[in-house]
Amino acid sequence: MNYSEHKHVVVIYPHPDDESFGVAGTVTNFRKAGVPVTYLCGTLGEMGRNMGSPFFANRETLPEIRKKELIDACEVLDMNLEMLGYRDKTLEFEPREEVAENLKNYIEDLGATLVITFYPPFAVHPDHNALGAAAFEAVRKIDREKRPELWANAISNDREEKLGKPEIVIDTEEVFDIKLKALKSHRSQAEGMLSKMNASENFIGEYESALKRLQYEAFHRVDVDKVSY
């Protein structure tokens, strides 16, 4: 893949850590090619249930903790960050047209040639699907000849049955250490999983499938005029 053909990549997800789980290796490859990347993060994930393992956060402190974790992860990934300020677990109730217009303004102002987001309704979490749909709509609003390319993650169990296999599959093995470092920035969310892996006597065997899932980042190439969302 020729990463350097793009001028600016815009990643649109709703939560801190979505970027590290879903696109960290791909972002790293773009940055190594000298392409600027901006993350439009919808919320601070302040309604999340994970408070660290062992607990070090509570409902009052979690928003600032997750904000700091997000900033740290974006520094690891050398990625610009814009926090959109929506409330966690309420994106599905925001007027889609208003959110889409907001995203469109960012996309156009940044001169994006590629947008990466979730594929609605195949992204499991209501916030994932809602912000993904708004991102699709934002791209659709742009004149066709000026539209950025659109890649979307689908993560539901029926994704291949409904959508077929993703057109883009990126093996992040060569930059996986950076992806893991970004994930580790999100201590409140990822530390429990990572500590279980580290404590396993059969680390590779027990967690091989999970590590492989993290290593490969898959995207569907989307024409917004030909899909419903």
Residue 197 has pLDDT above 90, yes or no: no
Residue 194 near residue 184 (C-beta atoms within 8 A): yes
Is 75 domain-assigned? Answer: yes
Once rounded to an integer, what is the mean pLDDT over residues 87-115? Answer: 98
Is 187 domain-assigned? Answer: yes
pLDDT digits (tens, 9 = 90+) for 166-185: 999 999 999 999 999 999 99
Structural tokens at position 72: 């740290």
Is 228 domain-assigned? Answer: no
- Predicted confidence band at 91 (pLDDT cuts at 50, 70, 90)? very high
Residue 41 has pLDDT above 70, yes or no: yes
Is 2 domain-assigned? Answer: no
Give the per-residue pLDDT at 46.
80
Is 138 domain-assigned? Answer: yes
* Local structure of residue 86 (DSSP, 8 states): P
CB atoms within 10 A of CB 219: 21
Is 202 domain-assigned? Answer: yes
Residue 26 has pLDDT above 70, yes or no: yes
Give the per-residue pLDDT at 15.
97
Is 86 domain-assigned? Answer: yes
Once rounded to an integer, what is the mean pLDDT over residues 203-212? Answer: 60
Structural tokens at position 226: 């030909």
Instruction: Indicate the range of 60-64, 145-149, 174-178, 214-218 predicted with least confidence.
Output: 60-64
Report the CATH number that the domain containing residue 165 is assigned in CATH: 3.40.50.10320
Is 188 domain-assigned? Answer: yes
Give the per-residue pLDDT at 215.
92
Q: Cα(28)–Cα(178) distance, rounded to whole angstroms?
A: 8
Residue 195 has pLDDT above 90, yes or no: no
The parent domain of residue 114 ranges over 7-221
* Local structure of residue 47 (DSSP, 8 states): T
Name, in order, each residue with C-beta under 8 angstroms of 214's C-beta and a sequence gap of 6 or more.
21, 176, 179, 183
Q: Where are the alpha helices (DSSP H) in the chain?
A: 18-22, 24-32, 62-76, 96-110, 126-141, 159-163, 176-185, 187-199, 203-215
Distance in angstroms between the alpha carbons of the first and the last residue of the chain? 28
Give the per-residue pLDDT at 105.
99
Total of domains in the chain: 1
